[in-house]
Structure 1
Amino acid sequence: MKLQIKDVSYSFDGKQNILENINFYVDDGEFVTILGPSGSGKSTLFHLIGGIMKPHHGIISLDSKKINGLKGHISYMPQQPSLLPWRTVLENVLLGSELSGVKDKEMAKALLMKAGLEEYEKAYPHELSGGMKQRAAFIRSILSPQELMCLDEPFSALDELTRLQMQKWLMSVWEENRRSVLFVTHSIDEAVFLSDRIYVLSAKPATVIKEVVVPFPRPRSEEQLLSDEFFNLKRELYAALKPTFTT
């Protein structure tokens, strides 16, 4: 499933653009990250792709089909896990597929086992830790039938060690499924560790100021986080982002 964003602009008030002439793409089975400062419109971009809002200018397409303002084409994971408190863990992860009429309970149980949540199938969200909730939310996204997954800073609320564990777990699950992923973060380390390619956004009005291909082979390892190549790429991305901090 290929996503194409072409010349997309958006303004909340019709006067000042939040996004301005945004251009990028996500190829089938590719993991692409949008990296930018806080307030640069990264989440707004997801709302446009998801059809919650319509761009004032430009085209959003999936496999060459225009989807401006159309809902139901993406699987979305927000910053907060947004699990329904009255549903069990198993019922929560099945929600997206259930709404689409393609519920696969055996696949859900297999993914819960891989996530170390098999003992929590009948538990409720309040009984889970923050990392467990995020794993459940990601499984819900995987089980949804849409081929494009949009992940909106899903690990931002986690502590550093839990965040790294979640990144490694996400990669292990994604490697088996290879869905097209658009990931949003403001963490350079996270972007480099997870991505095939990275787009850097400017401060608002946001536009794409840099595209970087991540050269590291998969599967990724913690040791790569300490390599010279990793630090060199971090410096390159920081240099691109630095002007946005003072804009």
Structure 2
Amino acid sequence: MSQLIVENIRKSFHKKTVLDDISFTVEDGEFVSLLGPSGSGKSTLFHLIGGLYEPDSGDFYLDGKKITGKRGSISYTPQSPSLFPWRTVLKNIMLGSELFGKPDEQEARVMLEKAGLGGYENAYPHQLSGGMRQRVAFVRSLLSPQSFICLDEPFSALDELTRLEMQKWLLAIWGQNRRSVLFITHSIEEAIFLSDRIIVLSSNPATLKREFKIPFPRPREEDILLTEEFLKWKKEIYQELKVLQ
């Protein structure tokens, strides 16, 4: 089980409120995306969930346990892959499990094969493409012992075709593990394609404006991107975000 409860979170910096009474739940095995204008506090919320600093008020609960201000409760993948250049691919993906004293090299090698990175175990980050580095970062998250994963715009720096390939790969790998995921993106299309549910945040300060439950069955194929129903959802969410600008 891996359920995250975000309860009445407020956070201010230099007397400016960034997050105002944010509450929602990510259920076990659910893929939820956060959408909102730039500067709406989405990354700040991730930092709070990860315990990098504490909210002014409100709490976070993971599997019923309070994790407010506690580090190491979730696995976090930032926008940049953040790989150590002096560690090989294999050593990079084992980092999280090493920190918790549970390294398993055989499992790591199996995951690299599933990620299409077989044969790159001894390569270094600078020898990989951007998409390959993102795969390494995500496999590292999957191999970390935490059951909840936060992904902060992991594909934003990739070109459109590579991004779509990475989205399909992410869904395939996630479908085998079904860890709970909270995903930040600025792309409406990406959010619809990946998610079970989309949460829309306003800005100045961020409040929860609306939730969308995405009806498309899994597994998902890229064919749905051009269907009338997909475009209808994209238009509705776009109109919601347009009002916030």
Q: What does residue 59 of structure 2 align with?
A: 59
One-letter code of the match for 2:195?
S
- Aligned positions of 1:90-239 closer than 5 A: 90-239=90-239
Q: What does residue 8 of structure 1 align with?
A: 9
Give the number of aligned pairs: 244
Task: Return the TM-score normalized by structure 2.
Answer: 0.98
1:196-222 residue CA offsets vs partner (Å, 9 max, x unmatched): 001000122001100000000000011
Structure 1: any 5+ residue segments left out of the alignment?
none
1:111-150 residue CA offsets vs partner (Å, 9 max, x unmatched): 1112221111101000000000000000000000000000
Q: Identical aligned pairs, as a percentage?
A: 62
Deviation at 1:226, TM superposition (A): 0.5
1:113 partner SS:
helix
Q: For 1:229 and 1:97, how far apart are their aligned partners in 2? A: 41
Q: For 1:50 and 1:68, how far apart are their aligned partners in 2? A: 8
Q: What does residue 242 of structure 1 align with?
A: 242
Q: What does residue 71 of structure 1 align with?
A: 71
Deviation at 1:60, TM superposition (A): 1.0
> Could you list the runs of 4 or more consecutive aligned residues of structure 1 that deviate by over 4 angstroms after TM superposition?
none
2:119 partner SS:
helix
- Aligned positions of 1:15-54 closer than 5 A: 15-54=15-54
Structure 2: any 5+ residue segments left out of the alignment?
none
Q: For 1:227 and 1:158, how far apart are their aligned partners in 2? A: 24
1:16-54 residue CA offsets vs partner (Å, 9 max, x unmatched): 210101011100111011111111110000000000010
Q: For 1:40 and 1:172, how far apart are their aligned partners in 2? A: 30
Deviation at 1:57, TM superposition (A): 1.1
One-letter code of the match for 1:27?
E
CA-based RMSD of the aligned residues comes to: 0.7
Q: For 1:239 and 1:106, how far apart are their aligned partners in 2? A: 48
Deviation at 1:83, TM superposition (A): 0.5
Q: For 1:42 and 1:217, how far apart are their aligned partners in 2? A: 27
